[in-house]
Structure 1
Amino acid sequence: MFTGIIESVGTISSLTDLGDNYRLVVNVGKLDMADVHLGDSIATNGVCLTVVDMGQDYYAADVSSETIKHTAFADYRTNTQVNLEKAMRADSRFGGHIVSGHVDGVGAVERINKHTNYIEVWVKAPSEIAKYIAHKGSITVDGVSLTVNEVDGASFMLWLIPHTLQETVFGTYTAGSKVNLEVDVIARYLERLLQGDKAAEPTKKDISMEFLAQHGYLK
């Protein structure tokens, strides 16, 4: 579990195709690796990855082709910068919100409006997760816990202060940049709870000749 408070900006030093998966190596920047062990989790631009090799200034993780396909990792290359957060400790401050490190969808930066003391960023979310994004609710963007300041359909707006821009990869965003999105887990549970007893019912399948045969309707 994570909180969405970024500890360092790292840099991808290599991303190697191993056939069934990829080996990712990240230079961790200022991230303190003293208490990191093999098998620990590090959120990398919001994706929970398991450390399989490490040193004082780097870690390596295996990333499945499925993860590459369903996250912004598909666009990452050597020298891409990534937000880093170590897994939350039970005795640490809970500064953001509950973040699992499981990406719900990939959004795209629509536009960036610069103001005197902050920038306004509009992000377009995939339509299937738009219902989970609420005005003044929490959302995780590339691993960062943020507050939604405005919603317009599947698009939502964020205000980013100078500190956030300096301590995350947000300063590198341009229109069209792909971002990993994780909705608030509480919204997911509420949706399931509202289904009541129907939640226990199996998902309906499309009726086909094969389905009818399997259920004894055809001889």
Structure 2
Amino acid sequence: MFTGIVEEIGTVHTIKKGSTSMQLTIRCSHVLSDVKKGDSISVNGVCLTVSEFSKTEFIADVMPETFKATTLFTLNPGSHVNLERAMAANGRFGGHFVTGHVDCIGEIVAVRPIENAVYMDIQMEPELHSHLVPKGSITVDGTSLTIFGISEQGFTISLIPVTQADSVLGHKRVGDYVNVECDILAKYLERIFSKKQTTEPTGGLTMDVLAKSGFLD
């Protein structure tokens, strides 16, 4: 579990690519301070497992499903990535619940600097729009953000100066692709209510419903 508060921007050192898999070596410092083999580190919002590490870098394997479902396949040596360690039980919860399981790849379709903020419009798969809530949470490349607006294409976020400086989003441009993870609470609620609609009668509260729920003997 992560919070979406980026701890460090790392640099991809080397990449070993298969046809639908890859192994990343990422140079960094802060997230290695207490790292252990098997730890989880979010790389641009994707939960990866540390397989090897040194004082200056760590290695993580990207399996075929992750390779196909995220933007990691677009990385090259020298690419910068957002890094966050899994949240410690005694840590501050500064962002929101982030799993590191990407829902879709979004495309940046507009970038608008306004005063000290940067507004960014991101297009995403229509079937996921039901997970978007005005003023709700969204994770973009591992960064916890607030949904500023919702459109037929997707959603708008606003980057404050610290986010522009301390995450890779500050360098993104129109046409770039990003990893998007919707708020897990919205996904759970949709799952619960969609299941109820397919298993319960639509006639409202009836004697049959009360009996099935254990209110009647």
What band does the TM-score fall into relative to the shorter chain? 0.7 to 0.9
Letter in 2 for 1:11: T
How many residues are paired up? Answer: 200
- Mean CA deviation greater in 38-47 or 157-166: 157-166
CA RMSD, 1 decimal: 1.6
Letter in 2 for 1:92: G
Letter in 1 for 2:8: S
C-alpha displacement at 1:199, in angstroms? 6.4
Letter in 2 for 1:4: G
Q: Which residue of 1 aligns with 2:23?
A: 23
The answer to whether the 8 A contact 1:6-1:84 is kept is yes
- Whether 2:107 is the aligned partner of 1:108: answer yes
Q: Which runs of structure 2 are paired with 1:1-219 in the superposition (5 Å)?
A: 1-18=1-18, 21-28=21-28, 30-197=29-196
Post-superposition Cα deviations, 1:86-113, rounded to whole Å, max 9, x if no partner, equal 0000000000000000000000001101
Determine what percentage of the aligned residue pairs are the same residue. Answer: 39
C-alpha displacement at 1:166, in angstroms? 0.6
TM-score by length of 2: 0.87
Closer/same/farther in 2, CA of residues 92 and 74 from structure 1, 3 Å limit: same
The answer to whether the 8 A contact 1:192-1:199 is kept is no
The answer to whether the 8 A contact 1:108-1:124 is kept is yes
> Which runs of 5 or more structure 2 residues have no equivalent in the other structure?
201-217
Letter in 2 for 1:133: L
The answer to whether the 8 A contact 1:4-1:85 is kept is yes
| Structure 1 Cα separation of the partners of residues 80 and 38 of structure 2 | 23
| Structure 1 Cα separation of the partners of residues 115 and 159 of structure 2 | 11
SS of the residue corresponding to residue 30 of structure 2 reads: coil
